[in-house]
Amino acid sequence: MRAGGEEPGRGKAGTGRGTNNALGRYGERVAARRLAEAGLRILDRNWRCVEGELDIVALDGDTLAVCEVKTRSERGFQQPSEAIDRAKAARLQRLAERWMAERWPGHFARLAGPGYQPAPADPQWPPVPPGGVRIDLVAVINRVRGAASVDHLRGVV
């Protein structure tokens, strides 16, 4: 047993949540790799604040993609895409706004390069990425045999 009562892939002894946590972390790694392979630029992973967490924040061209990752085992009954209801969608939108307020200006300056000069009409930073912000779902199905299945659903909210 590891420090803190954790066993690899099992979490704290007796909680029963470790396997789900390990599966979720695996799914987020797979999702980030697939998004990067598809040309998205990963800006942040597992960003947290008091309201919750964003799994992946990425730039897709000039659009900011806030990606919720849902991972299921092949034997699971619920499809990952069924996991975003109205309340979850509203929370993701609030979290995206909070991420933008805290992190976007610095990312934009770095992406724009060292010669970036804000336009006179916009004294600091563009308030949003030029292509806007969208909420995506990345559904990962962990297969018993073979590679995981990954579906990137754009603009689910």
Structurally, how many domains does the chain consist of? 1
pLDDT over 80 at 82, yes or no: no
Domain residues for 34? 3-153
Per-residue model confidence as pLDDT tens digits over 46-67: 999 999 999 999 999 889 999 9
Domain CATH for 117: 3.40.1350.10
Q: Which of 51, 63, 80 is nearest to 134 (CA)?
A: 63
This prediction's pTM: 0.75
Residues contacting residue 127 through CB under 8 Å, at least 6 positions apart: none
pLDDT attached to residue 29: 96
Could you tell me where the beta strands, DSSP code E, fall in the chain?
6-7, 11-12, 41-49, 52-60, 63-73, 133-142, 149-153
